[in-house]
Amino acid sequence: MAGTSLEDYYKSLSSVYDPQAQLVQQQMGQLPGQAQAQMSALEQAKVNAFKDITARANRRGMLFSGVPVSEQATYVGEKYLPAAAGVQQSQQNAQNQLMAALNEINASRRTRAQDLYSGEQNAIQQAEAQRYAAELAAQQKEMDRQAQMQQAQMAAEAKIQAAQINNSRAPTPRQPSAIEQKQMVIGAMTANITPVLGKDKFISPDNYLVAKNDWLDAGYSGKEFDSIFARYRNPKNPYYQVG
């Protein structure tokens, strides 16, 4: 082969591995649409359920008794919210599986390139190849950690929503505590940050600053923001405004 570097061998395998990677990436690109369709179905089911609840209450002469509101809240808490959380969890699981498949394709490609390359390289070049493999493993570990944190965040948001539904049933509304307010702000910030993450799962310095300013406008400190959302900063990028 004309190439003499690992990258030359890696590129030579494009015809074998690029179609596989593109197929996985296409499937990843379809996930948001699938989630939207599932959520639309849940929304329609909720609308239909509310209509049925109202109709039953009307037939019983209890339309203005408060019963429909109570039954609607029960439906939201026991059926709609768990189903919505299930859609999010399913999407995250599918994303993780596809990401793992993509990493496996890349790792397989890198391994094949290394096999071709190692016959012409000395011990120093082999050590360099091992460093590449270690970097891939570190990236996968970081992505797994971020996925776990996102799952925990979604679970916390679901609990807050359920708590809000329960609070709506109480005779006297209760104002959320400072901790709950902060949790809701964190949830909202996370929801705003997630769509602007790059392919590397990190936020750009500019978007990070926009989110941080929103946090400051909400009355919280910059140090808290830097600590809570540190996982979204690329540790290799020195241009984030921290502190």
Angstrom distance (rounded) from CA 202 to CA 80:
31
Backbone φ and ψ for 233, nearest 5 degrees, come out as -85, 135
Per the structure block, which two tokens stand in for 180?
């709950």
Backbone φ and ψ for 52, nearest 5 degrees, come out as -65, -40
DSSP-derived secondary structure for 47-63: HHHHHHHHHHHHHTT-T
pLDDT digits (tens, 9 = 90+) for 122-143: 655 567 768 888 998 889 988 8
Per the structure block, which two tokens stand in for 35?
């989630």
pTM for the full predicted model: 0.40
Angstrom distance (rounded) from CA 182 to CA 176:
10
pLDDT digits (tens, 9 = 90+) for 183-239: 999 999 999 999 999 999 999 999 999 999 999 999 999 999 999 999 999 999 999
Q: What angle do CA 42, 96, 144 make, to 5 degrees?
A: 125
Within 10 angstroms of residue 60's Cβ, the number of other Cβ atoms is: 10
Give the single-character DSSP code of 237: -
